């Protein structure tokens, strides 16, 4: 899929992937590319992008509520307190991706992040947002990169702080999903409502458990 924005089922132009399956449309229209702040909310996105590695995003999206139930709403403090019994429960949970390395990385990352200052994950991730003025709207999917210097730097910064299972490609997918960049195609109905990246109103606050999508 390399074309530009095209009419969706309702006639509105969208990124072609955004209506390739009905499950994608709400995510594309209402969530993907919109700024996300809060340590717990960003932890969720970081975990889901890591679980997506080597798989299609739709596989993760369709299991998202299963992931949220399994990982206590991705509250960092709760996941950091998971025991060996919780690990075994996760590896037997058919509602998530039962990949041992990814499960172990999620638990390890929560324990690392539990030791950070409130808002520290938010600030670290958003410090790598590129200047939107230097990023013209992509006209086709072929114009959307998979890796950028900023995502490479973000992956390196996270790894240096002890975060596992995040590379430059995963970091860029995180940046796209959380609104650090706006990669909706020119003409896409979901592009215009997006705001330029902004600092959180209260960077010291951790977010509550993610709301149900």
Residue 175 vs residues 43, 90, 98: alpha-carbon distances, Å: 13, 27, 25
DSSP β-bridge partners for residue 14: 6
Please state the length of the chain. 213
**Whole-number Cα distances in Å, 139 to 17, 136, 173:** 14, 9, 18
The angle formed by the CA atoms of residues 169, 175 and 177, to the nearest 5 degrees, is 105
Question: Which residues contact residue 169 at a Cβ distance below 8 angstroms, ignoring those fewer than 6 apart?
Answer: 53, 146, 147, 151
Distance between CA atoms of residues 51 and 189, nearest Å: 29
Q: Helices (H), strands (E): how many in the chain? A: 10, 2
Q: Are 191 and 182 a contacting pair, CB within 8 Å? A: yes
28 is in an annotated binding site: yes
Please list the active-site residues.
27, 49, 57
Residue 15 assigned ligand-binding role: yes
Element (H, E) at 14: strand 13-14
Binding residues: 15, 28, 184, 188
Binding residues for Zn(2+): 15, 28, 184, 188
């Amino acid at each position: 899929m390399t074309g530009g924005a095209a009419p969706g089922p309702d006639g509105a132009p969208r990124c072609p992937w955004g209506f390739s399956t009905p499950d994608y449309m709400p995510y594309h229209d209402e969530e993907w590319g919109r700024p996300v702040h809060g340590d717990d909310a960003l932890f969720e996105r970081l975990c889901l992008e890591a679980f997506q590695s080597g798989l299609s995003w739709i596989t993760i999206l369709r299991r998202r509520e299963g992931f949220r139930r399994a990982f206590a709403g991705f509250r960092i403090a709760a996941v950091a307190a998971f025991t060996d019994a919780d690990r075994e429960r996760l590896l037997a949970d058919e509602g998530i991706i039962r990949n041992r390395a990814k499960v172990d990385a999620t638990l390890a990352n929560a324990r690392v992040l539990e030791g950070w200052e409130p808002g520290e994950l938010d600030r670290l991730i958003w410090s790598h947002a590129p200047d939107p003025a230097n990023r013209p709207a992509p006209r086709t999917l072929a114009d959307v990169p998979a890796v950028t210097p900023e995502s490479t730097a973000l992956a390196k910064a996270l790894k240096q702080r002890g975060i596992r299972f995040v590379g430059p490609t995963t970091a860029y997918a995180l940046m796209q999903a959380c609104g650090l960049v706006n990669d909706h195609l020119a003409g896409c109905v979901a592009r215009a409502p997006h705001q330029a990246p902004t600092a959180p109103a209260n960077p010291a606050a951790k977010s509550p458990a993610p709301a149900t999508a």
